[in-house]
Structure 1
């Protein structure tokens, strides 16, 4: 069955344009004109992707994104007129997978949707990759910390999972920002700070799970996993 996209947008004309282009490319779509309805549809329909406006009635996009992330890892592309670097970083910190600025080319939005879904659906070989106390299930999109006879699951966004899984295939290797963008992030005008934001969130979650120092930055180059042999 074709992917289901939830279009959370309070401007009917924009929603109609997105709907038309996505439908033409074979997607199934459903629309929400406010944040509360978006969350209700997300819970009821479990869409494969959300296109999410920020400025919406009842609940804004940031509140919707935070709740979607609390529930799980549904891919989210922010589609908004807020176009400063700080706005972009805000979205990425909360857990967005990509960020498109209005006015946009709907063909570009569809291309980004396909890229996010392609990565979500699996540009990766299956199996479990292990690095130290980490077990990364590439089929189930689950990351566990396995220590002292116990296993705890990490709650990662889709992009954080992709970055961790990509780096885990070559522990000790230093990955440049451009390598991580090409392998793990949607196409477009992705900034270095976008990568930094995702890695910062991922490193924080690893540290909260007791894996201090597992991910480190290499000044002027990029990032490395399992810096300690």
Structure 2
């Protein structure tokens, strides 16, 4: 029986590179020097990009943790730094998630710049809305590369990668899946402020453990997309 470790080893030994021909969406993001750089969004089952998320993102987080340890922070400063960084999803194994979620009700999205994954997103569809009778989609997982988050080691490389990949998922869901504008998710605690800022509503009855359930209405989703 082939395991995740076997697949990862095969990708590494054979130096398998991700396909670059089937671009779903293309636009640009600003880098830390305020320069526009083109991004490409790829859709579909993609273990190669998922493995890149694991290897590149994991290596950066290890480097970040080593940097923090080397700074000789006071306990107070260390607590402040720990509260400012976002590594809640560091344990996510993207290759495992791709292999587990590849049936028709799931859609994968990867946003690349310079052939490096800057963000990843998995959605489930259709999902019944908590607001009305319409069908929307549910974000199972969404994350940006750790170098695109606030950290004490260096400036963010790119801003807005998370918003862009969510907007790409919305566009795909409405244009290709026939769903109405709107989506839902369970938010990691550190991400709650962002989801509230963009106009999502909490439904406490659907929350679980420490993760609150958020949904964005059709109108607010259209505003988020710039349709209204």
TM range (shorter): 0.3 to 0.5
Q: Which has the higher contact order (CA 8 A, sep 6+)?
A: 2
